[in-house]
Amino acid sequence: MTKPPEILAKLFGYRFDDPGLLKQALVHRSAGSRNNERLEFLGDAVLGCVIAEQVFARHPGAREGELSRMRSTLVRRESLAELANGLDIGVYLRLGPGERKSGGHHRQSILADAFEAVLGAIYLDGGFEPCRRAIVALFAEKLDAVADLEQLKDPKTRLQEYLQSQRQPLPEYEVIDIAGESHAQSFRVRCSVSDVDIEPTVGQAKSRRRAEQDAAGKMLARLGAG
């Protein structure tokens, strides 16, 4: 049984003049045609704007690429789902029977979308400033923590930059195995660096890109640069 959405509104630090907007923000598309997809679209845009403004103000010495990495780290699905879990958004959601049975209340994509939809609902109900205040409050800890610009770079980027700084050849990645069915594949990727007396590393993940990142991270650690 879902909780009354008014409780969730308090967790966002907001009181709705039109409670119907909040209720719609918590309806997944599997539960009906009047769902939260449009509100999620709006909330995503407002969230990106506010987070961009925050990192811009907090890091006056950061370059454009560094600001982009900070923003991407803060608004990625995993980050939003983590915040949504902290607010227990899953218990407020209305899902169709199929999504309920498959555990949709805990699915990262559904939680992240609902989080953004609530922000979109706040924006429509009260305007930009109340929505901005809610975002800044909810992201306060994450905004404070996103200070190490170097760690925002993915392992492949950091490995490439490290090797360039040492005037070494760029790393090479090779898929050495793909296992599992098409909907649940597992990739193994080898990362090697020529002219460096270090054994190649092997990364494994559910996508080639993540397997390459895993292998690059292991190579960084092996080089003592992780």
User: Catalytic positions, please?
Assistant: 44, 116
- Interatomic CA distance for residues 163 and 220, integer angstroms: 10
With a CB cutoff of 8 Å and minimum separation 6, the contacts of 45 are none
User: In this structure, what is the dihedral angle of CA atoms 56, 59, 63, 67, given to the nearest 10 degrees?
Assistant: -50
Q: What angle do CA 96, 180, 30 make, to 5 degrees?
A: 10
Distances in Å between the alpha carbon of 96 and those of 85, 100, 110? Answer: 20, 6, 12
User: In this structure, what is the dihedral angle of CA atoms 44, 35, 81, 12, given to the nearest 10 degrees?
Assistant: 80
- Interatomic CA distance for residues 100 and 80, integer angstroms: 21
The distance of Cα 91 from the centroid of its chain, to the nearest Å, equals 21
In the three-class reduction of DSSP (H, G, I as helix; E, B as strand; rest coil), residue 127 is classed as: coil
